[in-house]
Every structure is written in structure tokens, then in C-alpha cells.
Amino acid sequence: MTRTRRIVLAGVGLFAATALVAATDEQAPMRVAKDPQGYWFTEGDTKVMFYQQERKAMPDGTAARSNYFHPLHDLDGRVITEDFPADHIHHRGIFTAWHQVLIAGKTVQDQWVNRDSFWTVQDAQTTADATSASLRLRVFWESPLFTDAKGGRRPFVEETSVTRVHKAEGDIRRIVDGVAIGGSNDAKGYGGFSPRVVMPKDIVFTGERGVVTPIENAVEASRWMDIAGSYGPSGKSGVTVLTHPSTTGFPQRWILRARNSMQNAVYPGQQPVAIPRDRPVILRYRVVLHRGEMTSARIGELQAAYAKERIPD
């Protein structure tokens, strides 16, 4: 097998100052359980989110894809991500994808629309303790347009990721959610970390400089972005995405949409960039689910604490 380039989608939990007490899988309130299609994160009997390992498609077989998270449940059990939405059937839960994936200048994939895109899980390891559960994955990118002498798909990127889900703490839950790649070949430059969340009519985006109004193209960079609205009768709740400063291209611009689309922390943008052989591209984000509104000061505290955490091995 040829040497692969590496992308690291890294995440690690926010640990308390005191030591954690390990627990067996049977005792742990947080768990990761294998499913025929992937892995479920649960807290006790409550489902938190699902990693889709196997290829999933529309009833007619179109738009097949894998390697993403859906459903994601909020703190009140509502599903707040979307999969195969009618307006953009290629969007899927929480995903990372690029329009332009090139080898020696030739396009071999368009991951955004799932064209010629295969993600093969080579290794999956799960851990759980008294406060969190994690899923460590090693995934190969493959394409039918890049094959060996026998016509078999040859891996060309090794993606490694660690996703850790924490127990709910009052009104928040932390999820950690890290060749050449490039975003869409237009001014928008879609590509990178993208959550497709349900969009209530009163959705509000808030960045470090205050309320952000979506525009056609990317808005200016922000270390974090909060997405909040009325998701149910219990009042406002939302999702905050924090970005670790080790992330390549930090801080990143954001493409925001109030209707019928996903949100995107843009990397690298329209122009493709090379994935080096001697070091990984690191994309590291933390998703915080919250009940009620989160103040900018509170989000700033979470971002500052996250920024102090080291990159996991």
C-alpha cells in the first residue's frame, strides 16, 4: 500500500482537576455501543448521538455516504440534526467533507456530494469511564478513480479521529467532537467541518463580536459560533461550536444559513491546499449542547479552557 497522508479530526474531553475514577462498561453511565450500522453514544438509557460507519443511501440507492454523525439529540431528547434533507439530500448530520479532492492535480472525489467517495474504517476503539465515553477511529479515504494494478481502490488519506461525549452537566453537554483538498470552486468555498442542524424560525447566530447576520459567502473569522433558537416547548436551546487553536487555518471563517442548509467552518476555501506527508492536517472542534441561552462571557470561558488542552496522542 502506498503511504497515505494524514488528516486528524481531533477531540478530547474537558477534564476536572480531580482524578477520574474508571468504571467498567456495565457500570459506566456513558457508553459507546456497536451497532450493525455504526456506534451509539448513550448516557444510561438516553441516546446522545450515532456514528454512521456503513454506507447509507436513499431508497433508490442514490446519495450513498458514511463517516458522519446522525442523529444528535439535544438535552431534552429531540433530534436536532438532519440526514438526507429534501433541500440538500447530500447533507448529513455532523460531517467533514470537501468538494475538491485531488491527486497530482486530478480530481478523484467530491466528498460534499458523495461522488466517488468511500470511507473505510480500519480500526475502531471505544472507552468509557464515570464521566465520558469516546470513539477513536482510523479511516481510509478511497476512490474508484485511484486504484491498484488489479483495479482495487487504493487508500490515499488516513483520517484519524477521537470523539468524546461527556455526561450532561446541568444545562450543557460537551461533545468533542480533528493529496490536496479544497472547498467548492466558487466564492463560497464550502468545505470542512459542517453541522446540518434543524433551523427554528427564530434562529440566531452569535460570534465573538456579537450577533452575526448570514450573507451569501463566508463571514469573518471567529473562534466560536453559537446557533440558538426555539427547538421545542421548553424554550430556547442551541449548539455552540468551539475551535481549538491547533486547528489548521485557525481562526476560520464561517458560512451560515438561516434556512435550508448547513453551517460550515470553512477550510481551506476555494483554493485547494496540499496535505503534507510529514505532518497531519488538524481539524479540532468541540460541540456544546445547551439548554437556554448561553452568554458570550460563558462561551468565552469554555473556549479559553478548550484552548489550553493539549492535542491528544
Render pLDDT for 170-217 as a digit per residue (tens, 0 to 9). Answer: 887 677 543 667 777 888 878 889 999 998 999 999 999 999 999 998
Q: How sure is the predictor about 27, in pLDDT bands with cuts at 50, 70 and 90?
A: low
Question: Averaged over 157-180, what is the pLDDT?
Answer: 78
Q: How sure is the predictor about 4, in pLDDT bands with cuts at 50, 70 and 90?
A: very low
- pLDDT attached to residue 313: 54
Look up residue 22 and give its three cell numbers. 474508571
Torsion-angle region of residue 46: left (phi > 0), alpha (psi -120 to 50) or beta?
beta
Q: Is the pLDDT of residue 152 over 50?
A: yes
- pLDDT attached to residue 28: 57
Cα separation values, 149 from 1, 77, 153, 179, 263, Å: 11, 49, 10, 20, 40
- pLDDT attached to residue 23: 34
- pLDDT attached to residue 177: 44
Look up residue 185 and give its three cell numbers. 470552486
Q: Is 113 helix (H, G, I), strand (E, B) or coil?
A: helix
- pLDDT attached to residue 274: 83
Where exactly are the structural domains of the chain?
5-12+24-307
Cα separation values, 99 from 32, 57, 186, Å: 31, 19, 11
Q: How sure is the predictor about 72, in pLDDT bands with cuts at 50, 70 and 90?
A: very high
Q: Is the pLDDT of residue 219 over 50?
A: yes
- pLDDT attached to residue 22: 31
Q: Is the pLDDT of residue 17 over 60?
A: no
- pLDDT attached to residue 226: 96
CATH number of 5-12+24-307: 2.70.98
- Rounded distance, CA 178 to CA 95, Å? 11
Give the Cβ contact number of residue 258 at 10 Å: 17
If you average pLDDT over every residue of the chain, what do you get? 85
Do residues 72 and 94 make contact, with C-beta atoms less than 8 angstroms apart?
A: yes
- Rounded distance, CA 194 to CA 287, Å? 11
- Rounded distance, CA 226 to CA 218, Å? 16
Q: Is the pLDDT of residue 3 over 60?
A: no
Does the reported pTM lie above 0.85? Answer: no
Q: How sure is the predictor about 16, in pLDDT bands with cuts at 50, 70 and 90?
A: very low
Do residues 152 and 185 make contact, with C-beta atoms less than 8 angstroms apart?
A: no
- Rounded distance, CA 259 to CA 11, Å? 29
Q: How sure is the predictor about 67, in pLDDT bands with cuts at 50, 70 and 90?
A: very high
* pLDDT tens digits, 106-146: 999 999 999 999 999 999 999 998 889 999 999 999 999 99
